[in-house]
Amino acid sequence: MVIENAVLILIIGIAAGFINVLAGGGSLLTMPVLIFLGLPSAVANGTNRIALLVQNIIAVYNFKNKGFFDWKLSLLLGIPAVLGSIVGANIAITLPDQVFNKILGVVMLMVLILILWEPQKKIALQDDKDTNELSTGRKIMSAAAFFFVGIYGGFIQAGVGFIIIASLSLLAGMTLVKINSIKVFVVGVYMLFSLVVFIINGQVNWMLGAALAVGNGIGAWLGSNFAVDKGDKWIRRVLFITVIFMAAKLLGVFKFVMKII
């Protein structure tokens, strides 16, 4: 049964990696599936981070090679995000499964709205100029905001990319390319530290985590070679239906309906 689960997670990982490249929000698939396979919520949360860490390390490497990277600003935002992620991860491992699942279900629906709103496309259209240097005040506000981004990322993570896009567009007025280059670094750094919290507390399934990491990598490669215009519309429809179904299950909607019937 363990082997079958690993194969299923590999497949889901491919789908999640594909979604992350085309649209974002792949954790909205991987987290619920890990929970449905019987992993406690905290273990599912920790296991999911292995694949995300690998994915973001690769993304940072690619952005650096292409010249889209700001070390100073990335570190400025990464440090408070790391501190916040440690707080968030400690909250996640102490919550009862039922409470965490309900919170995840609500978050999935809220992030789904962001996915359908497509903030990354609106920002790409609106921001023709990039801010080369932020004022001291904006740097302080951005650093403070990323402490809370880190708390959310350490706690749940699902959909954090959309939150970062919104935060940097409002506070820094950056282009989407620069936002993404900073996003993958910040997420990668705080993901490492939050993962350590889960590992120390024994909340990681290494076999499924490895399978998920391989799947995410394959999916990201496939997604990058897919026609974005066609794939984006298609993947959003699938993501919408899947997230609605999984959120309803996590929130106990099906059990409630069965009781009424």
**How confident is the model over 9-18, as pLDDT tens digits?**
999 998 888 7
Q: Count of domains in the chain?
A: 1
CB-based contacts of 168, cutoff 8 Å, min separation 6: 142, 174, 179, 182, 183
pLDDT at residue 127 in the model: 47
Q: Which DSSP letter does residue 67 get?
A: T
**pLDDT of amino acid 228:** 45
Q: What is the pLDDT of residue 50?
A: 92
| DSSP E strands, 42-189 | none
Q: Looking up tokens 């007025």, which residue turns up? A: 173
Q: 176 vs 70, 88, 162, 168, CA distance in Å?
A: 14, 26, 11, 9
Are 77 and 48 within 8 A, CB to CB?
A: no
CA 246 to chain centre: 16
Give yes or no for a contact between 132 and 70, defined as CB atoms under 8 angstroms apart: no
- Helix pair 119-126, 97-117: axis angle to 10 deg: 40
Residue with tokens 């292409």: 66
**What Cα–Cα distance (Å) separates residue 62 from each residue in 53, 65, 68, 164, 207?**
14, 5, 9, 19, 27
Which of these, 99, 101, 100, lies nearest to 247 by C-alpha position?
A: 101
Block residue for tokens 């792949």: 26
Cα separation, 95 vs 142, whole angstroms: 29
Q: How many CB atoms lie within 10 A of CB 225?
A: 9
Domain that holds residue 243: 2-260
pLDDT in tens, the chain (261 residues): 567 788 889 999 988 887 766 656 778 789 888 988 889 989 999 999 998 888 888 878 777 777 767 788 888 899 999 999 999 999 988 888 888 878 877 877 777 776 666 655 555 544 444 545 677 888 888 889 899 999 998 988 777 777 787 777 777 666 666 777 788 888 889 999 999 999 999 999 998 999 999 998 888 777 666 644 455 566 566 657 766 776 776 677 766 655 665
CB 194 within 8 A of CB 89: yes
State the pLDDT at residue 123.
Answer: 53
Q: Rounded CA gap, 196 and 89, in Å?
A: 9
Average pLDDT score over the chain: 78
Q: Is the pTM of this model over 0.75?
A: no
pLDDT of residue 157: 79
195 in Cβ contact with 204 (< 8 Å): yes
